[in-house]
Amino acid sequence: MPETLASVLDRHPDRHLLPFGIQRTLRALNLDETHAIHALELARIPEVDEPLRRDVILLALSLLAAQAQGHTRMPLEPGPGGPAEELLKAFDRADLDLQRLAGDDRLATLIGRAGEAAPPKPLLIDGAWLCSGRLHGSEARFAARVREVRARTVDAPGEVPEGIFTDPVPLDPAQREAVTRTLSRPLAIITGGPGTGKTSIVVAILRALLHQGVHLESVALAAPTGKAAQRMGEAIQLALNKVRVRDEVVEALLKHFPESRTLHRLLGWHPASETFRHGAGSPLAAQVVIVDEASMIGQEMMERLFQALAPGARIILLGDARQLPSVEPGSAFRDLVATQGDCTSWLRENHRMANGDEAGANILDVANALLEEGRTAEPEGVRVLDSLDAWKGWGVERWEPGDQGLRLFLDRWFQEVVLALDSFQTLANREYSHGPAGWGRGDTEALHALLEHHKKARILCALREAANLRGMEGINQALHTWMHQVTGAGLRKDVPFHAGEPVMMTANDYRRGIYNGDQGIVVRVRFGDEPRQGVVFEAGKDHKVFPVDALRTQIELSYAMTVHKAQGSEYDRIAMVLPAGDHPALTRDLLYTGITRARRQVILLGDARSVEWAMENRSERRSGARVD
């Protein structure tokens, strides 16, 4: 198999021409054809013979497989079940000694050693680990920058008006401590799950900062994705509007509320040059940077953020360290929480029960039980259903469907959730009008109703691809086929989208101002005199629209999405489809993250063994960010 891979890549350096068997092996390891080509390029060393070159391809692919699973480094003695062992087995080279191979003198132009005074190498040996020179450098710079930021001095905080701690809601002792700790430190970390009051704390911090003389224009709000940034801004403004006693600080915040931006926008990403405007040599103007959903930030982006801080600026990170770590390599937020104890505030109290939200409290109780040390059994708060007829749609429930049962559930979900809006067909089949003067009469209200409807519920999957409707792509295709009967009149069954369907951006489009993870809907829109399919996204209180053809390669159906993609979002109800048996994608973190996306209702679709397997596994990231 390695010979086939190398020879095929030599003859056809085109990702679309790899044999299906090799493509399937790569996909099973979260790799694609571009990773194989990257490995081949790394192995183009004139000094080595063909057998050694094939081994170098496998070494590079092993490291890339580790990075695809979120690690920034790979042990040179692969452990059982690790990405390197899986890859070597897949290519019939389980006997390959990676440690001996990495130390071969003939690879000196490719592999260096950490700390050596030599030109940078693509790969580095750091003790018993192999890592990319790029990620190793990022981790080292990040650790140094964290130490520098921590050493900054912050003026002693003045007295904070008591109303900040009591209005609009009284803060509990842990929340009050988090606010006062944050005000006295250049680096502050606040971690807690949904319902623990992180938004209330941010509002209190903003008010306190302004009372202490910080100028509103010197405060920056950001989050990793467009959806998370939007939710951050909306949640803070909603809380501010509930303040009963409004002084000049609250009025200023309401009148001149700082826009919450994606990290890419905050740092000034230039897509044409693939560079950031802000960094160590061109810092941000902000003196206080507040970032939500920080657990979603990968190693390199977290380093860029810290490098862009102005001299004397402080940073406040909020997130849930117990969620799935970032899609990108690294676990920077977890590393900070684990090592920066005096800067970290933990929020553990569930406030949803205090608000009379018993269903929401049940969800959080189950989520917290999932993470209890030593627990391997399904939490008691999960209501196990004997049949689909017993589904109540309250708190956390689990049903074990066979393949036919899963199809029956999806049909019921389509009828009772996707089509639940009384006016759905009318709104979806409506022809909207958009021109220089904006939307036609009644269009804005109709679009708002459709978008709000789709924001209420979602199907979440552990896997993107899986047989028997247990992966995101299969579920989306099934519901798409059913939607053809509702809004697809006059269209072929194989068209990519039908009117009324939810879609999601899969890439950042900076020119149009829409970003990876942004949610939209497909409708028929008359652009001037021409009716076409358009994709509509929220834009504050208005809506922006683009022809489907302009975004065809950047959008996909989103009746269902992966749990990773759902991070930063919340829904009233979710259905979570679990792969059967002992699947490596099933972890405690994945269950916890998926369940906590719901406010009112979760139904887990899987057997007890799948839940138990997830309970026995946790997403561990191997990183070298020595930030202590």
Residue 385 lies in a domain: no
* Same domain for 281 and 209: yes
- Distance between CA atoms of residues 355 and 195, nearest Å: 10
Q: Using a CB cutoff of 8 Å and minimum separation of 24, what contacts does 491-500 make?
A: 496/548, 496/552, 497/522, 497/533, 497/548, 497/557, 498/522, 499/428, 499/429, 499/523, 499/524, 499/533, 500/424, 500/425, 500/427, 500/428, 500/429, 500/450
State residue 521's pLDDT score. 97
Residue 145 within a domain: no
Predicted TM-score (pTM) of the model is 0.89
- The crossing angle, in degrees rounded to 10, of helices 83-90 and 50-68 is 140
> What backbone phi and psi angles, to 5 degrees, belong to 534?
-130, 160
Q: What number is the average pLDDT over the span 391-413? A: 94
Q: Which position has the higher pLDDT, 374 or 123?
A: 123
Name the pLDDT band for 15 (thresholds 50, 70, 90): very low
pLDDT of the residue at 17: 53
Short-list 190, 216, 186, CA closest to 310: 186
pLDDT on residue 492:
67
Does residue 110 share a domain with residue 161?
no
Residues 247 and 176 in one domain: yes
Q: Is 191 helix (H, G, I), strand (E, B) or coil?
A: strand
Q: Which pair of structure tokens corresponds to residue 333?
A: 């937020």
3-state secondary structure 442-483: CHHHHHHHHHHHHCCEEEEECCCCCCCCCCHHHHHHHHHHHH
Q: What percentage of the chain reaches a pLDDT higher than 70? A: 95
Report residue 1's pLDDT band, with 50, 70 and 90 as the boundaries: very low
Which alpha helices (DSSP H) does 91-244 contain, by range?
98-102, 133-150, 163-166, 173-183, 198-211, 226-241
Contact residues for 170 (Cβ-Cβ < 8 A; gap 6+): none
* Mean pLDDT calculated for residue range 235-239: 94
For residue 354, the model assigns a pLDDT of: 57
Distance CA 199, CA 611 (A): 31
Q: Quickly state the pLDDT bin for 6 (edges 50, 70, 90).
A: low
Q: What is the mean pLDDT of residues 343-366?
A: 84
Provide mean pLDDT across the span 15-42: 77
The DSSP result for 538-595, as a single string, is: EETTEEEEEEHHHHGGGEEE-SEEEHHHHTT--EEEEEEEPPSSS-TT--HHHHHHHH
Give dist(CA 456, CA 598) in Å, integer: 9
The pLDDT of 72-90, averaged and rounded, is: 84
Mean pLDDT over 314-331 rounds to 93
Residue 33 maps to a domain: yes
Q: Is the pLDDT of residue 457 over 60?
A: yes
Helix (H) or strand (E) holding 381: none
**Together in a domain, 444 and 584:** yes
Whether residue 3 has pLDDT greater than 80: no
Note whether 74 and 44 are same-domain residues.
yes
The phi and psi torsions of 395 (rounded to 5 degrees) equal 60, -145
Spacing of C-alpha 391 from chain mean position: 29
Distance CA 534, CA 223 (A): 27
Q: Which two tokens stand for residue 431?
A: 């022809």
**Residues 277 and 318 grouped into a single domain:** yes
Mean per-residue pLDDT for 509-513? 84
Alpha helices in 279-423 (DSSP H): 299-307, 332-339, 358-370, 403-413
- State the average pLDDT for the chain: 90
Identify whether residues 116 and 164 lie together within a single domain: no
In a domain, 627, yes or no: no
If one counts every other C-beta atom within 10 angstroms of the C-beta of residue 77, the result is 12
Whether residue 465 lies inside any domain: the answer is yes
Q: Is the dihedral of CA 312, 318, 320, 325 positive or negative?
A: negative
Integer-rounded Cα radius of gyration of the chain: 26
In whole angstroms, what is the distance from residue 421 CA to residue 424 CA? 5
Query: In this structure, is residue 40 part of a structural domain?
Result: yes
Burial 253-287 (b: 16+ CB within 10 A, else e): beeeebebbbbbbbbebeeeeeebebbeeeebebb
> Is residue 147 domain-resident?
no
Is 108 found in the same domain as 206?
no
Give the highest mean pLDDT range of 6-10, 266-270, 298-302.
298-302
Do both 504 and 403 map to the same domain?
yes
Residue 301 shares a structural domain with residue 271: yes
Residues in the chain: 628
The predicted-structure confidence for 378-393, as pLDDT tens digits, reads as follows 999 999 999 999 999 9
pLDDT band at 8 (very low <50, low <70, confident <90, very high): low
The answer to whether residues 365 and 293 belong to one domain is: no
* pLDDT the model gives residue 399: 97
pLDDT at 529 over 90: no
Q: Domain range spanning residue 499?
A: 358-379+392-615
Q: Nearest Cα to 597, choosing from 320, 378, 376?
A: 320
Residue 352 lies in a domain: no
Name the domain count of the chain.
3
108 conformational bin, left if phi > 0, alpha if psi -120 to 50, beta if neither: alpha
**One domain for residues 457 and 434:** yes
Q: To the nearest 5 percent, what fractions of the chain are helix, strand and coil?
A: 40, 20, 40
Query: Which residues, listed in sequence order, are joined to residue 509 by a DSSP beta bridge?
Result: 514
> Whose CA is closest to 516, among 533, 537, 547?
537
Lookup: tokens for 266? 């905050």
Q: How confident is the model at residue 159 (pLDDT cuts 50, 70, 90)?
A: confident
Does pLDDT of 433 surpass 90?
Answer: yes
pLDDT (average), residues 328-339: 94
Mean pLDDT of the region 306-331 = 94
Q: Classify residue 214 by burial, with Cβ atoms within 10 Å: 0-12, 13-18, 19+.
A: middle
Token pair in block for residue 417: 């959730």
- Whether 110 contacts 122, CB under 8 Å: yes
- pLDDT confidence of residue 162: 94
pLDDT classification of 577: cutoffs 50, 70, 90: very high
- Last residue of some domain: 132, 166, 187? 132
pLDDT on residue 18:
64
Instruction: Show Cβ contacts of residue 560 under 8 Å, excluding neighbours closer than 6 positions.
Output: 458, 459, 460, 461, 472, 475, 476, 479, 577
CA 27 remoteness from chain centre: 20
Q: What is the CATH number of the domain that holds 537?
A: 3.40.50.300
CA-to-CA separations, 94 to 59, 71, 79, in angstroms, rounded: 12, 21, 12
pLDDT at 428: 95
